[in-house]
Amino acid sequence: KMAAAPGAFSLREVLAAFQACVTEQREVLLGPYLQGWRGLVRFLNGLGAIFSFISKDAVTKIQIMESYCGGERREEYRTLQSMVSYELSRGLVDLQRRSSHPDSGCRTILRLHRALRWLQLFLEGLRTARQDASTSAICTDSYNASLAAYHPWVVRKAAVVAFCALPSRDAFLEVMNVGGPEEAVEMLGDALPHIRDVYGITQELYEQHCLVGVA
């Protein structure tokens, strides 16, 4: 049995960050959004070195966003909504092909946003699966139903190989460090609506501004 490391942080706080990022006006605050992602990366790193090619890419994207959120124009990067209108109005987004603005906030967040859809499907699968279900099968199914469509063949192969290293459902629920399996399942039930909400608001915003396919 793969026990959670003593003093390891709990996935409960990580998922709570996604709850904290939606304001009353239904804006998405980038601060807690990125905090949630930093926690997910930490959790992923704890699962083993085989996942490091995944976490490295996530870290790169988080760092790009951190430099905007802490930079000169930080006011414009307070929320997803302000970021989109700022970058679009200044022509800071390469829509068709990456060229003069290869690392816009809009394209960077879109990658994380697509990964958030995977996370939602994966956690939902984990929550509702039978006790003896295979985590790697749940992970592969969620991946194929979401992120895989945006990845080239080599990345898809590497991802599916890495998924085989995932522990059983019970062990996975345990490393989440939320308590027993029942508690972990209950926490997921509480947290998932917020992740779905963040995903839905972002998706709608991106659709409105024709950003869902930004290069």
Interacting residues toward ligand 1PZ by CB under 6 A: 40, 43-44, 51, 53-54, 57-58, 111, 114-115, 118-119, 139, 143, 147, 151, 155, 159, 166
Nearest to ligand 1PZ of 164, 210 (CB atom): 164
What whole-number distance in Å separates Cα of residue 86 and Cα of residue 105?
10
CB-based closest residue to ligand 1PZ: 57
What whole-number distance in Å separates Cα of residue 168 and Cα of residue 27?
37
b/e string for 146-177 if b means 16 or more Cβ within 10 A? bbbeeeeeeebeebeebbeebbbbbebbbbbb
Nearest distance from residue 152's CB to ligand 1PZ, in Å? 8
Contact 34, 66 (CB under 8 A): yes
List, in order, residues 6 or more apart from 84 with CB less than 8 Å away: 106, 205, 206, 209, 211
Nearest distance from residue 42's CB to ligand 1PZ, in Å? 9
Nearest to ligand 1PZ of 20, 44 (CB atom): 44
Nearest distance from residue 202's CB to ligand 1PZ, in Å? 14
Nearest to ligand 1PZ of 9, 27 (CB atom): 9
Cα distances (Å, whole numbers) of residue 8 to 22, 169, 178: 27, 19, 10
Nearest CA to 196 out of 123, 145, 128, 94 is that of 123
Nearest to ligand 1PZ of 27, 133 (CB atom): 133
Nearest distance from residue 65's CB to ligand 1PZ, in Å? 12
Nearest to ligand 1PZ of 81, 125 (CB atom): 125
Nearest distance from residue 25's CB to ligand 1PZ, in Å? 28
Look up residue 102 and give its two tokens. 């290869």
List, in order, residues 6 or more apart from 29 with CB less than 8 Å away: 20, 21, 22, 23, 78, 79
Nearest distance from residue 11's CB to ligand 1PZ, in Å? 8
Nearest to ligand 1PZ of 36, 83 (CB atom): 36
